[in-house]
Structure 1
Amino acid sequence: MSNQTSVTEFLLLGVTDIQELNPILFVIFFTIYFVNITGNGAILMIVILASRLSFCGPNHVHHFFCDIKPLLDLACGNTELNLWLLNTVTGTIALTPFFLTFLSYFYIITYLFLKTHSCTMLHKALSTCASHFMVVILLYVPVLFTYIRPASGSSLDQDRIIAIMYSVVTPALNPLIYTLRNKEVRNALNRKVRRWL
């Protein structure tokens, strides 16, 4: 059976018919590609360096899942390079969208205060931002706390609590936060709470 595809050129060339935008689009897509290759290479380096470590003590990871930091705690050799590379990669991966999110919040809030003259519109926009901001905080703070803080100040108990918060509490609260923005859901919840009390 022969190929029945009618596309004969690169798919993204159809993004725009304006020839002047092609170099800009090329730079954007090349940058995304380069960042992905660099990040994957750094993650591969972490895996290779961790696989070359020797483990002489107990082989039980005291964590809810096999994360790299508790695994490095079991190693007998020097793990400074591993921790440095891990903190660099995870810090970059976590901090870049974190700061871009805060930059967008700064832009939105600045625009709202400078251009919006209606208090009801401002209140509605800020309440939408507040619920999204709470979800962003619940998502990023545990990640930043786990991977950005120095290894000397970390304990396995703190790491396990943070892991529970990141993997259980945040996904459970995310739909709840967005659902409570609905007026009907809030009223139904208020009626249930009054019945219990």
Structure 2
Amino acid sequence: MEELDVAGLLDLTGIFVFAVSGALAAVRQRLDVVGMVVLAEITALGGGILRDLIIGAVPPAAFTSLGYVLTPLVASVLVFHWHPQVARLLPGVLLFDAAGLGLFCATGTIKAMDHGLSPLHAALLGVITGIGGGILRDVLSGQIPAVLYDRQLYALPAMLGAAVVAAARSLGLHGALVTAGAAVLVFGLRVLAVRYGWRTPRPRGVTD
């Protein structure tokens, strides 16, 4: 029961930080409050809904838990009133997106393995959980999804984090420390990639 409670808390934390990233993206696109709420909800819940539909956990958790819906609303209210302060304290979309990516790819992998998927397939579904909401956010806000060009390592950290979780659980290692450790690993790689301009290679001869 304690592990389930911790997992639920981590899930809500991921929802909150992804919702903040969606709401901040709406501010940058000069959307109104409706657009802000839509982007916050889609960013926070999109990947989890895809995950639950794939593993047959229907209705998805987003439609059975009031907290899943209310948490993005709280994030929207926070950003609506104090977005300059939020952006200054934790420089905008990238840090929140990195935090949400780390948490979601870890919790998504765990839920997939709990539903009987192999470690490989669970890791793949963990990546989908992590990047799904961000893809929907970018599409709705008129941007090329970051995962399609991965110039600052978006999908690659998610893959590594999900693989770490899948490997750890295959070895019988469970608990919040595994989830948090993988999330921190993803977050750190994403932030370092942004800071130092790390990127995945392009085909030979293709340049900016």
* TM-score relative to the length of structure 2: 0.28
Larger radius of gyration: 1
TM-score, normalised with respect to structure 1: 0.29
Q: Whose RCO is larger (CA < 8 A, sep 6+)?
A: 2
